Amino acid sequence: MRLRRQVPVYSPITGAALRRVVREAPRSAGDAETRLRARLAREYDADTVRLFGSGTQALQVALRVALQRVGESPVALPAFTCFDVGAAAVAVQARIVLYDIDPATLAPDLDSLTRCLESGARVVVVTPLYGCPVDWDVVDELVARVGALAIEDAAQGYGASWRSRPVGSMGQISVLSFGRGKGWTGGAGGALLLRGNGSKERLDPQCREAARPSEELRTLCLLTAQWMFARPQVYGLPAGMPWLHLGETIYRDASPPRPITRCAATCLEALSAAAAQEAAARRANAAAMLAAVNGGCNLQVVRPLPDAIAGFLRLAVRLPRGLAGFRDATRALSLGIAPSYPSVLGAVPQIRRRLEAGRHHWPGGEELSRSLFTAPTHSLLSVAERNELVRLLLEYRA
């Protein structure tokens, strides 16, 4: 087995942060969580911050809060996004409608979103993919016309901004994720950010309990494994174990909301500077790659909208022939080229069963499920590897 393989996406974890988790988390008594809530409230302009065991758990609570505010209605989800978004809606037994995505920008197709609102949806989940901000002002105006509410699911938005406002700071309700590949990680964890009137909704008592010792141990194990194996020198070892399903998109039922662990909160506090530095490195690598392939390749690179600064969690590219267009597909994979989501949400049986009757065709999302791939942008990508990726993209045969 060849051990060296480029990591598709990277969130920094340092040995110093792990030592701090081991030293401080067992006796923090909630201090790290309190400081993290205050930090997120300040940086994301939130009136209330609630911390959970994952971003998916936070999204479940966000959906419940939104439905309490607007009343019973279908929930509009993007047709093409992470399957966990659909799992959160299934977990709260939401009635679901799907709006299409513009393949050129990964933003909502506004005509499709309008049809969902006209059909009665009053809660809309917006998910900026791979750190590409959407035109939030347009979306917000569209939903406001009918008294709907948009949830800003900024799970992939760390390091991105729209008109100088960080992604995650714009909705009445926003969600953050601190999972393995989200740029700023605690091994696990998520946050619900509430703004404006009604930002003090009561939460299920289960969400206010302390995390169990087993949850703390699991988080520590996840952090340790990520620190050990999320580096190109050894990533080929876990990537070669099929049962780990690394890089695969699999639907999993959402677990009930639980509080964030002390280990995750302590780690997030310890890694905040490293995560910001990593986001700057991603932006710099992406800018260099975009400049190098500008107009010179047979594929389409998703570029940020005007007024947007992308976080470039990964560089999104549309490959008309998939991996077959590369002169060396094996090398492309070893350099971190990876497929995006394999289908639209409407093709997932658990989600399809909750779809409202009506239009079940999303051409933009279906096109993306066939052609969207991502390239790494993180700091572990050497200049030589970055240049080789650019050459592969320039030589792509459409």
CATH at 375:
3.40.640.10
Q: Which pLDDT belongs to residue 194?
A: 97
Q: Which pLDDT belongs to residue 366?
A: 97
The dihedrals phi and psi of 278, each to the nearest 5 degrees, come to -65, -40
The answer on pLDDT for 268 being more than 70 is: yes
Which is higher by pLDDT, 132 or 245?
132
Q: Which pLDDT belongs to residue 275?
A: 97
Q: Which pLDDT belongs to residue 199?
A: 54
Cβ partners under 8 Å of residue 321, min gap 6: 397, 398
Structural domains of the chain, count: 1
Give start and end residues of each alpha helix (H) in the chain: 15-24, 31-43, 55-70, 83-91, 110-118, 136-144, 213-229, 236-239, 262-293, 329-334, 349-352, 363-371, 383-394
Judge whether 363 lies within some domain.
Answer: yes
Helix (H, G, I), strand (E, B) or coil at 377: coil
Q: Sorting pLDDT into bands at 50, 70 and 90, what band is 328?
A: very high
Q: Sorting pLDDT into bands at 50, 70 and 90, what band is 1?
A: low
Indicate the average pLDDT of the chain: 93
- As a whole number of angstroms, the distance between CA 390 and CA 78 comes to 30
Q: Which pLDDT belongs to residue 222?
A: 94
Q: Which pLDDT belongs to residue 294?
A: 82
Judge whether 1 lies within some domain.
Answer: no
Predicted TM-score of the model (pTM): 0.95
Q: Which two tokens stand for residue 237?
A: 């070892």
Q: Which pLDDT belongs to residue 247?
A: 74
Judge whether 4 lies within some domain.
Answer: no
Q: Sorting pLDDT into bands at 50, 70 and 90, what band is 2?
A: low
Helix (H, G, I), strand (E, B) or coil at 189: strand
- As a whole number of angstroms, the distance between CA 34 and CA 265 comes to 9
DSSP string across 249-288: ----PPPPP-PPPHHHHHHHHHHHHHHHHHHHHHHHHHHH
Judge whether 310 lies within some domain.
Answer: yes
- As a whole number of angstroms, the distance between CA 384 and CA 380 comes to 11
The answer on pLDDT for 28 being more than 70 is: yes
Helix (H, G, I), strand (E, B) or coil at 59: helix
Judge whether 315 lies within some domain.
Answer: yes
Judge whether 8 lies within some domain.
Answer: no
Judge whether 189 lies within some domain.
Answer: yes
Judge whether 115 lies within some domain.
Answer: yes
Instruction: Give me the domain span that covers residue 96.
Output: 15-394
What pLDDT digit, counting tens, does each position of 172-215 carry?
999 999 999 999 999 999 999 999 865 555 665 555 677 888 99
The answer on pLDDT for 235 being more than 60 is: yes
Min mean pLDDT across 59-73, 234-248, 279-293 is at 234-248
Q: Sorting pLDDT into bands at 50, 70 and 90, what band is 319?
A: very high
What pLDDT digit, counting tens, does each position of 30-59 carry?
899 999 999 999 999 999 999 999 999 999
The answer on pLDDT for 69 being more than 70 is: yes
The answer on pLDDT for 360 being more than 90 is: no
